[in-house]
Structure 1
C-alpha cells in the first residue's frame, strides 16, 4: 500500500511536468511561427518599397528623357516595378477593398506605361496632355513613397503592431488600439490621397473611363453577408475552415466596380492566428479573389506540376476550358495567367491569375476580377481572311513557331486576331494580325528569364 501511495503522486508529477513541457513547446512553436510570418511580411514590405521607389524614379526620368528609345526602356522598367509592387502588396495583411485606389494606381502606372510604349513604337511622341498625366502619376508615386518611408521609420519602434499581431487584434475587435502604428493605417492614409487624384484618360483597358463600366460576368440577385460566408466556406472546403468572420471594408465599397463581401477565414490547421482573405461579389455571389499569406517552405514542385495543380483547381471551381499563357516565379510560389478558350479561340480578356505554393502545391492566391469584368456569352464571328493570308503579313525572315486564333482587348473593343509566335533575329515576338481586315494590331516581345516569361 505504501508503494502504491508513492507511485500515484509520482505519476501525477510526471504527467504535470510533461504537460508543462508540452505547453512550453507549443508556445515556442507558436512564437516561432509568428516571428516567421512577421519576417515574411517585412520582406514583402521592403520589396514593395523598393519597387515603388523605382516607379517614382522611372517616371521622373521619363519626364526629362528626350528620345523614344530611352522612354521605351524607362516605361518597360516602370511597368515591371508597378506590377511587382502590386503583387507583393496583395500579400500583405490588408483587405483589397481598403487599398483599392492604391492597387488601381499601380495597375494604371503599368498599363499607361505600356500604352506609351505602343505609341512610341508607332513613331508617335508624348503629347502635352500625356506629359501632364505622367506628372500626376509621378506625384502619386512620390506620395506613396513618403507614406512608405514614414512606415519604415515606425517599424523601428519595438511596440510596432505588425503581421500576426495585427490579425490577432483585428479578430478581437481591438482595431482602435492599432490606429497609430499598424501597417494598415499608413496604406489607408495614402489611399485617401490617391483616390482624390485626376482621372487617367487614354485608350487602355485600365483607363478610368474603362474602369467605370459594369462587370459583364456577374448576374443574378445580390447575396446577403451570411450567404456570401457560406460561399466562401464552400470555396475553401467547409471541413478546412475553423472560423470565418466578415471584416470592415471601408467607405464607398458599393462604388467599386465589383462590390464584395470580404472575410477572414481561419483554417483548421493548428495555426489559428493565420487568416486567409477572401472576397465574394455582392451581385451573383462569385469568389472574386482569395489570398493565403502563409510562410512558404522549401521548393518541392516543378513548374509543370504547379501548372497542373492550377488547372485542376480552376476546373474544380467552375472555370472550364482554361489554358496557361505565361508564368512568373517568385520566392516560393509561381504566378500563372490563365485565359479561357472557346472552341479553337483563346480569349485573353477572360483572365484568371493563380498563385501556386511550390512547397505543397496549395493554391495560395486567386484573382478572377478581370475574368468577371470581361466574361460574357460571345458571338465569335468567322474570320474574313484565312490564316494563310494573315501569315503573309509577317516579315520573310520571321521564323514561326506557333499560330492560333485569339480574341484580344483593344480599348473598349475586342478584336478577333491571329496570333503568331516566332523569332526574328535574336528576339522572340508575338504578332497579332486582325482576322477581319489583315491589319497588324499588336507586336509583343517575349522576354525570358530565370523567373519566367514576360511580354512587352
Structure 2
C-alpha cells in the first residue's frame, strides 16, 4: 500500500501540474485573443473617424461650389451624418471627454449647422454670404482636423502604439511612452479645434446657445455661507445632521450656471449616503438636488407620486407648473414639469422632479432649464386660428387635443399650436407655428408601463 501511495501521489501532482499549465496557456491565449480583438476594434474606430472627417471636408468643399438648393440639401445631409458618426465613434475611443471636448464641439456644431442650412433651404431661402463664409471656415478647420489626424496616425505607426493598451491600466510602464505620443497629438488637435470662430446661427448647438447665461436668476452674488444656509433651508433644517461643501473645479465660473455644491447628511440616512445639492452663485437658488438612497417595496401609484411632486414644487415657490412626461426606473419616477402662463404651456421653463415610490419622498430635483430660461414674457397673440392651424396637418392625422404652447427653436422661442393625435395607431405631437403656419416640429410619443417619453 505504501509503495502504491508513493506512485499515485507523484502521478496526481503531475496531472495537476499539467492541467494547470494547460489552463494557464488557454487563459493566456484567451487574453491575447481578447487584446487583439480589442486592438482591432480601436484601430477600426480610428480609421472610421478619419474617413468620416475626410468626408465632412470633401462635402463642405462641394457645398461651396454647388449652386442648387437640391444639391446642397443632399450635401448637407451627408455632412450632418458624417459629423455625427465621427463624434459617436470618437466617444468610443479609450480617451476622456476632457481630451476631446473642443473636437466633439466642432463635430456637433458642424452637424447642427448643416441641419440648420437644410431647414433654410426647405423654407426656400438661399445661402447668404455670411453663411458661405461660415461654411468656408468649417471646411478650413475640417481640413486642419484631417491633417492632425494624419500626423497622429503616422506617430502611432512609427511608435508601434497599441490603442487597446490605453484601456488596460495594468500596463502603465508600457503605456507611458505610448500615451505621451497619443495624448500630445490629441491636445494639439483639440487646441486647433479651439481656434474655430464662434458659430452664430439659430440652432441648439450654436455658440450663443452653448454660451448662454441664465436669465431666470437674481443678479446678486451670494457667499458660500449663504448658499449653505439656502441648501439646508431647501432640504429642511430639521432633517439635516451635517453639511459640507465639496470641490467644484477651477473653471466653475465658466459654467453656464455656476453653483456652490454640497454634501448634505440627512438624519434618516447613514453618512455613506449623502444628498448632493447645487446652489447658484447668483441669487442663491437651489438648482439641483439628488438623493441616491435605495428605494424598496415601490407601492405608490403614478398619480399619487405626481400629486406629491406638484405639492413639493408649490412649497418651493413654483406655481402654475403642469406635469407632461414621466419615466419610472429603479423604484422611482421622474416627472417633467413645464411652466404655464395664460393657459399656454412654456416648455423651455422645465423642472424635473424625481419621487421615490416607497414613501413618496422627493429624491431628485433639477431646475437648471427653468433658471436658464424663465423670464417675463410678452406673448404675441396668434395670427392663425386653431382651425387654420389644423388645416396645415395631414388629413388622416386624428387629433385628440389642441392647445397653445411655447417651444424652443434654436436661440429663439416659438408660439405654436400643439396638436396631439394618432397616425397609423401611433401617438404623435405636431407643432404648427401660430404666427406663420409653418410646421415647426413633430414628436412621437412612446408609452409603456414605465411612463411616457417623446422622441
Which residue of structure 1 aligns with residue 228 of structure 2?
Answer: 229
Q: Is the 8 A contact 1:79 1:113 kept in 2?
A: no
Tell me the distance in 2 between the aligned counterparts of 1:104 and 1:318. 38
Give the count of matched residue pairs: 343
1:419 counterpart = 2:408:
no
The Cα of 1:115 is off from its aligned counterpart by 8.3
Larger Rg: 2
The Cα of 1:296 is off from its aligned counterpart by 2.4
Q: 1:314 to 1:75 in 2, by over 3 A?
A: farther
The Cα of 1:233 is off from its aligned counterpart by 0.4
TM-score (norm 2): 0.62
Which residue of structure 2 aligns with residue 308 of structure 1?
Answer: 307
Q: 1:70 to 1:212 in 2, by over 3 A?
A: closer
Which residue of structure 2 aligns with residue 385 of structure 1?
Answer: 384
Q: Is the 8 A contact 2:420 2:429 kept in 1?
A: yes
1:55-70 aligned within 5 A: none
The Cα of 1:449 is off from its aligned counterpart by 3.8
Unaligned runs of 5+ in 2: 1-41, 60-73, 123-134, 149-163, 171-185
Unaligned runs of 5+ in 1: 1-52, 86-98, 140-148, 156-189
TM-score (norm 1): 0.61
Tell me the distance in 2 between the aligned counterparts of 1:428 and 1:314. 29
Tell me the distance in 2 between the aligned counterparts of 1:77 and 1:454. 25
The Cα of 1:325 is off from its aligned counterpart by 1.4
Which residue of structure 2 aligns with residue 186 of structure 1?
Answer: none
The Cα of 1:152 is off from its aligned counterpart by 8.0
Which residue of structure 1 aligns with residue 209 of structure 2?
Answer: 210
The Cα of 1:229 is off from its aligned counterpart by 0.6
Which residue of structure 2 aligns with residue 42 of structure 1?
Answer: none
Which residue of structure 2 aligns with residue 158 of structure 1?
Answer: none
Q: 1:324 to 1:331 in 2, by over 3 A?
A: same
Tell me the distance in 1 between the aligned counterparts of 2:310 and 2:252. 31
Tell me the distance in 2 between the aligned counterparts of 1:439 and 1:357. 41
Which residue of structure 1 aligns with residue 255 of structure 2?
Answer: 256
Tell me the distance in 1 between the aligned counterparts of 2:102 and 2:353. 19
Tell me the distance in 2 between the aligned counterparts of 1:291 and 1:401. 36
Q: Is the 8 A contact 2:102 2:191 kept in 1?
A: no
Which residue of structure 2 aligns with residue 355 of structure 1?
Answer: 354
The Cα of 1:128 is off from its aligned counterpart by 9.5
1:404 counterpart = 2:403:
yes
The Cα of 1:101 is off from its aligned counterpart by 11
1:260-299 aligned within 5 A: 260-299=259-298
Q: Is the 8 A contact 1:75 1:117 kept in 2?
A: no
Q: Is the 8 A contact 1:108 1:206 kept in 2?
A: no
Q: Is the 8 A contact 2:398 2:421 kept in 1?
A: yes
Q: Is the 8 A contact 1:78 1:110 kept in 2?
A: no
Q: Is the 8 A contact 2:106 2:193 kept in 1?
A: no
Q: Is the 8 A contact 1:385 1:436 kept in 2?
A: yes
CA RMSD of aligned residues (A): 4.7
The Cα of 1:238 is off from its aligned counterpart by 0.2
The Cα of 1:154 is off from its aligned counterpart by 6.1
